């Protein structure tokens, strides 16, 4: 923090405006909170990291001028623990923020963010002059290693081994830009009962050759909410104990469900993940997987967002 404090001192007195949105929801105080700092020019990475810790949201975004001609704007994304190559709710939420702020002109259908991972397009639907829905395009999936020890995987999430084994699905790492270890369990009650053991998770990841920053637990058990899957996400490696809505994990989840036949091809374009219920911040994350024959050709994650507030952070 000494580096960040010293850097802040060099621009002491600056006021940094932000918009506070709730993302992947149409209801205020649901979904995933996001702070969008609308003018990050002159801010260093240590300052942005310190500002993100100060906000105590799972992620903050920092808007900068475009750096290359195939993008409309540059954006950096931070969790309390690190800078991210990409992320879902920050990209969808920032598209809403920029549209509400007039940076994205009303009616503009496509807007391309320059993220650390590269150009990332977002397609916007409008209701009159207001944004109504945003679809983020993600990279095609990379399927990592699958775990061969169900008992060890169950210990990592605090579940019974039978809850995983009965699904007939693998515990596996999947990435559409950021890797997540996906843990299928039998029921929504199993999802709600998950109590991750971080030491067991790290041991599992070391043995299986997996990235240990995040675990995503889900069930295909139907419920009254119409969701395809019911989910929770824990990201200790990112400084996020639990996340109420994780767009970067939802693209990989959709790809996984299609690959293993848990979602048939005719429903690949209309997957809905409900996340954050256990936290009291229900989120509805839409996933559309485009197929070229049996191959996954496109991955999109979308949803709504609402403006919850506006403020300034004093440096």
Catalytic machinery residues:
59
- Transcribe 72-108 into DSSP letters: SEEEEEE-SS-EES--HHHHHHHHHHHHHTTSSPTT-
Supply 180's token pair: 């997540």
C-alpha span between 218 and 279 (Å, rounded): 15
Name the nearest CA neighbour of 39 among 22, 55, 56, 61.
Answer: 61
**Cβ-contact 85, 177 below 8 angstroms:** yes
Helices (H), the chain: 2-9, 45-55, 88-100, 150-157, 161-165, 188-193, 198-208, 247-259
Instruction: Say which residue the tokens 């299986």 belong to.
Output: 208
C-alpha span between 150 and 161 (Å, rounded): 6
C-alpha span between 293 and 97 (Å, rounded): 37
- Transcribe 219-258 into DSSP letters: E----TT--SEEEEEEEGGGTEEEES--HHHHHHHHHHHH
- Computed from CA positions of residues 242, 82, 77, 184, in that sequence, does the dihedral angle turn out positive or negative? negative
């Amino acid at each position: 923090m000494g580096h960040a404090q010293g850097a802040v001192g060099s621009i002491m007195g600056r006021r940094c405006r932000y918009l506070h949105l709730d993302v992947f929801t149409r209801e205020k105080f649901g979904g995933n909170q996001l702070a969008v700092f609308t003018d990050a020019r002159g801010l260093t990475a240590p300052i942005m990291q310190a500002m993100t810790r100060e906000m105590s949201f799972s992620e903050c975004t920092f808007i900068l001028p475009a750096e290359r001609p195939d993008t409309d704007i540059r954006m950096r994304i931070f969790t309390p623990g690190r800078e991210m190559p990409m992320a879902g709710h920050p990209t969808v939420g920032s598209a809403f923020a920029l549209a509400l702020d007039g940076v994205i002109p009303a009616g503009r259908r496509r807007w391309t963010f320059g993220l650390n991972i590269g150009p990332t397009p977002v397609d916007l639907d409008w209701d009159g002059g207001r944004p109504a829905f945003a679809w983020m395009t993600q990279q095609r999936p990379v399927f990592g290693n699958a775990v061969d020890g169900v008992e060890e995987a169950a210990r990592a999430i605090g579940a019974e081994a039978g809850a995983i084994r009965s699904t007939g699905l693998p515990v596996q790492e999947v990435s559409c830009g950021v890797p997540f270890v996906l843990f299928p369990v039998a029921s929504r009650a199993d999802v709600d009962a998950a109590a991750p053991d971080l030491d067991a998770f790290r041991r599992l990841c070391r043995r299986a050759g997996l990235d240990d920053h995040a675990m995503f637990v889900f069930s295909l058990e139907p419920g009254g909410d119409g969701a395809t899957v019911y989910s929770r996400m824990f990201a200790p490696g990112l400084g996020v104990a639990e996340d109420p809505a994780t767009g970067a994990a939802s693209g990989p989840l959709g790809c996984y469900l299609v690959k293993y036949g848990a979602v048939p091809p005719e429903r690949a374009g209309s997957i809905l993940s409900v996340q954050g219920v256990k936290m009291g911040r229900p989120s509805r994350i839409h996933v559309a997987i485009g197929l070229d024959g049996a191959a996954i050709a496109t991955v999109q994650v979308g949803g709504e967002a609402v403006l919850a507030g506006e403020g300034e952070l004093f440096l």
